[in-house]
Amino acid sequence: MIRKKKILAALLSLCMTGAAFSLTGCGSENTSVTNSSSSATADNEQDDSGEETEALSEEPEENDNIEETTKTNGQKADGKKIAFSLKNGNSWPEGNTTIYQLDGTVTNNQSDIISDWEVTLPVSKDIEIKNSWGLTYDIDGTTLIIKPDNNTGNIQPNGSINFGIQIASQEEINASEAVFTAENTSVSNDSENSNNNNNNNNSNNSNSGGSDIKSSPNAREVPEPSTDDWLSVEKNKIVDSEGNEVWLTGCNWFGYNTGTNIFDGLWNADLNTSINAIADHGFNLIRIPISTELVNQWEDGEYPEANFNQATNSYLVGMNSLEIFNYVIGQCRANGIKIMIDFHCATTNASGHNYPMWYDEKISEKDYIRALEWVASTYKNDDTIIAIDLENEPHGKPNESPRAKWDDSKDEDNWKYIAEKAGLAVLEKNPNLLVMVEGIECYPIDTKKNGDFKSQDKADYYFNWWGGNLRGVADNPVDLGKYNNKLVYSPHDYGPTVYEQPWFEGGYTFDSLMEDCWYDNWFYIYDQKKAPLLIGEWGGFMKEPNLTWMTYCRQLIKENKLHHTFWCFNANSGDTGGLVLDDFTTWDTDKYEFVKEVLWQDSDGKFIGLDHQIPLGENGISLSDYTD
């Protein structure tokens, strides 16, 4: 999903006057720190091929041209006493405006309390403040004035505070234009202090939310990991360890792929409240998009900063990003939710899945395989993670290079061959996991003449959504050998608001969608009992021209009990919207009631989880309690 391109640079200048100092800069980040790097993300616009996208995030360049000392009242100021950082965070379109999020940090390394600080930022006259935390604000013409609230007004020695604001504007909001002032303080050049202190305790804790993990008022008690909930395949069904059919009905929640290094939305929402709500609303599976690069970093002992509202999620402060990920696993387990890890892109980047392959210039095929192996091995004794989606939306058109193909070769661009290699690598580490294999974008019409994909003429191919073309399974099915009972095919499907595909032109019906798209691209796999299907992404806005397609897709899922993970929980999905509104807390009632019809429920309306012992949230039951 796809397109906004921003390249960030951190170029800063610093000036002080009298007993106060001010900090300004240029680029997309404003920080008093030298040699620091951070990322900004902007999610989900639409590219020219109609795929939903989470837009680009880049690291700013390092900058050494910062004045580290200056004069204050005739005395030499110590440049290490205070650190200030303001960053452009996520942004997303809303109507004819864009929502810009700014994330700020002030760290106090001096012996005195900081109690009087202010940030000013030039803005256009027509802005609207959508949300804020850790601050108060005023607008004076074209100047936004940010001051502390009751919780951030007194920064203790060796302490730090965080604040954030979301601004709707037709013109770009640039954090680098901010000016920070504080009385009787000076500037720190300690780069760690600009990173919310999240990387100061980087022990690798593989405990998935055990008793030594901090809790919060909304946290649920985490039971020990179990190994009795693994699933497997029987023809076109997914069954539990006792051979009983189950139904995976979940949702997506992105962020671990974008550079946020945690779920998006936690700049406002509480993590535990959100996980609880997903369970209470009846979703028994969360598909978590993640980048190969982030997994490689975790394996290598590197823990990129997790960006979240530290006031709202104070119990996460002090954990590194891997420890927070393990905390997430524990809270999902406590709620009876299972997890599917989706390898969404090679490099951490909100538009990283634009790149058509499982590798790129930074991440090799070897890096990709070792990341899969690390996840499979690390969590092999915890059935909270029950599945791995090997790669999100391999794609590419015939005349593009590189592009993913599907044939019987051992070429490095043959997704069918790589899926076998990757799937076997996963299952050798943990033979209990389900392995999801998505499709590609195009497939030859005549495989006898063009089975090697050599033609660059689009007229020689069938096309479908990225990841949605599984026609190749008919000619060359994925072969996992003794592990074929772990194989699930996972297409993606969207409506006309994402892209006006040919099968939508001139009106369409359920039957025409089946004939023109669904059956030959992937539904035949289920109908002919070759393997189960899990629709990894479907969803959109609850209005035409999308609602008719949504209704037909729901009908297909319901009539055939197809497994699915709805796209998505996030409010900041530009061309689909989310299950929650902009505050990431208030649920979109109409959309939820629509999706609720295809969540697994018993005859009494109780939601059915995939854990044999732990019920699914407050409104569900465990798998052992299901008797229908």
The set of catalytic residues is: 393, 537
DSSP 3-state of 75? strand
Q: Of the candidates 363, 393, 218, 386, which has an alpha carbon nearest to the alpha carbon of residue 291? A: 363
Rounded CA gap, 199 and 326, in Å? 16
Q: Which residue has the tokens 């524990």?
A: 330
d(CA 380, CA 602) in angstroms, rounded, equals 30
Are 305 and 85 spatial neighbours (Cβ–Cβ below 8 Å)? no
Whole-angstrom CA distances from 296 to 225, 292, 410 are: 24, 6, 25
- Running DSSP on this structure, what letter comes out for residue 523? I
Q: In this structure, how many other beta carbons lie within 10 angstroms of the beta carbon of residue 410?
A: 10
Q: Please give the Cα distance from 126 to 325 (Å, whole number).
A: 39
> Three-state DSSP class for 522?
helix
Q: Strand, coil or helix: what is 590?
A: helix
Q: Which helix (H) or strand (E) holds 589?
A: helix 589-596
The secondary structure of residue 304, as a DSSP letter, is P
**What gap in Å lies between CA 564 and CA 429, rounded to an integer?**
26
| Structure tokens that stand for 283 in this block | 């979703």
Closest CA to 247 of 478, 8, 564: 564
